[in-house]
A and B are shown apart, each in its own frame.
Chain A
Amino acid sequence: MTLSYFRSLAWADYFINALVDPRNLFRIFARKDAKPFGMSFIIPALLAITEILSISLLGSESSFFYYKISYGWILFFLIIILKLIISASLMDMIAQFFGFNGRIKELVSILNYSLLPGVFLLPIIYIFKIMNFAPLFFYFLFTLLLTIWSAFIAIQGISEMHSTGFGRALFIYLFPSIFALLFTFFIIILLIISGVGFFFG
């Protein structure tokens, strides 16, 4: 990324479109001069920093406080990336099941950019923390609201990428969560069956 590219503010288009027009964001990806993939990882890194700082500001005074701000964000960043790659893989898998082309790289970029609203949590929470006005409540409230916004960006992006309707894009987006829920449910069932067999068999 050259300095002239940075000064041109062309990179800002990704962020603007992620926030205001997620469908156009995907159309920008298709441009020849676009470099969305590498740059998209700035957002999870930024999110990890802002999230860990928000938690640190809200957290009580403990020795862990000092660790979490120094190393915690790296761990948090790695967790976000891992979660994102697994989610993208599952989304791409179900998209292919629906007959769409596999486009994991673009999907990872979209999911990365969709995390952008989350970075605004820190300034919001900081205000409530300074005012000492139910910061924890607003932390959860805004986390929820910003997560919904993030989901909306991702769904719009997926819908544009596969030229499909909102409903199918929503299903693709929710598939990893549904999969995780079903997986957990069956694990619990199997554990119960094993437990019953062990104790009463």
Chain B
Amino acid sequence: MDRNRKILASILALLILSIIMAVTDITFRIQDTEKRGIKAGMPQIGPGVGIIRIEGPINMSSGAGLVGVKSQVERIIDRLDSLSRNSDIKALVVRINSPGGTVAATQEIYQKIWKLRKKNIPIVASMGDIAASGGYYAASACNYIIANHGTITGSIGVIAFSPNLKGLFEKLGIKMNVIKSGNYKDILSSHRDLTKEEFAMLQKMIDSSYRKFLKDIALGRNMNQSEIEPYADGRIMTGEEALNYKLIDELGTFEDAIDKARRLAKLDENSPVYDEVKTPVEQILMSLEGMLKWNNIFKEKYPGSGNYRLEYRYLP
């Protein structure tokens, strides 16, 4: 019986530990919210501004990762969905700190923001260090764009590349055996040169994605494509230059973006801000996910290695 008592005491101790963990988790959420300028002691109620954060390269992974963390696009779309369902959210600020990402992932975010804009929810984009290429694409879906003076933006264009290791393979005496069902099945293979037909085919895809990019920006910015085209050659620019080219509406900070969103939604100047809160456990898991996906890190560093894709992305 004594042994059973000890086992039960251990189970209860674990239970208490899980309670402490849960309370700590929630407490950190509250503290995190406080750090972001939201008073947690006096919870804020009522109409306010919701914050969505787009950070880092935009891409879609295949469902939940190794430790169940959602892909960035899924997380952003979920967040947009939950905010749009919340009757207290009268305006949105999309905080962007991203060099862009894959074409489809960026388009999904653009379309989601656009749908919300169509529902007459004022949406303001706030650019951080960088909001280039796909980052700018997402911003262009918003009603109003605010960037810092030194924000790197622009880079309007599409890119796809692969390393040509043919010379290296020949030097090393490596030959690839390729059995394929069609001429183009191994397009962008690193062991041979691109043929003219393949090049033309890829260029067509790039051009098509580029045209879509331009069209969507023009739609979002309420401009003609011809007005954007001179600056849409892949060049990067500062916030100030972007303002001159009318690619953004105002120079300002994140706080300015929140104030603008409040004004657009006719909210009180002290109305609450509902920011995204990641729990410490989620933060640890996301770091763990990054570590576990070492293969992705390799690809991130050497983008040509495998997995070819079209990207709206600024790649210096």
Contacts and interface: CB of A to CB of B under 8 A. Distances in A.
Interface string A2-33: 00000001101101100100000000000000
B8 A12 contact: yes
Interface stretch (A62-70, A153-161, A165-173): A62-70
A67 B43 contact: yes
A192 to B, nearest CB: 33
B195 interface: no
B68 interface: yes
A123 B43 contact: no
B26 A60 contact: no
A28 to B, nearest CB: 11
Contact of A9 (B6, B44, B277): B6
Contacts of A61: 82, 274, 277
B15 interface: yes
A132 B43 contact: no
B64 A132 contact: yes
A136 to B, nearest CB: 14
A54 B82 CA distance: 20
Contacts of B25: 57
B43 A66 contact: yes
A69 B44 CA distance: 16
A110 B55 CA distance: 54
Given A12-B8, A12-B9, A132 B19 contact: no
Interface string B1-42: 110111011001011001101110110001000000000100
Given A66-B43, A131-B67, A132-B68, A16 B26 contact: no
A62 B26 CA distance: 13
Contacts of B23: 53, 69
Size class of the A contact interface (CB-based, 8 Å): 20 to 34
B4 A126 contact: no
A56 B22 CA distance: 9
A56 B6 CA distance: 31
A33 to B, nearest CB: 15
Contacts of B30: 66
Contacts of A53: 19, 22-23, 26
Interface in A81-127: 119-120, 122-123, 126
B22 A126 contact: yes
Contacts of A12: 4-5, 8-9, 12
A13 B15 contact: no
A122 to B, nearest CB: 6
B285 interface: yes
A132 B21 CA distance: 17
Contact of A50 (B19, B67, B281): B19
Nearest to A120: B15
Contacts of B18: 122-123, 126
A126 B10 CA distance: 18
A89 to B, nearest CB: 30
Interface string B181-220: 0000000000000000000000000000000000000000
27 contacts: A9-B2, A9-B5, A9-B6, A12-B8, A12-B9, A16-B4, A16-B8, A19-B8, A50-B15, A53-B23, A57-B26, A61-B82, A64-B43, A65-B43, A66-B30, A66-B40, A69-B23, A69-B26, A119-B15, A120-B15, A122-B15, A122-B18, A122-B22, A123-B14, A123-B15, A126-B18, A132-B64
Given A15-B12, A67-B43, 9 more contacts: A13-B1, A46-B15, A50-B19, A53-B19, A60-B82, A61-B277, A122-B15, A126-B21, A132-B70
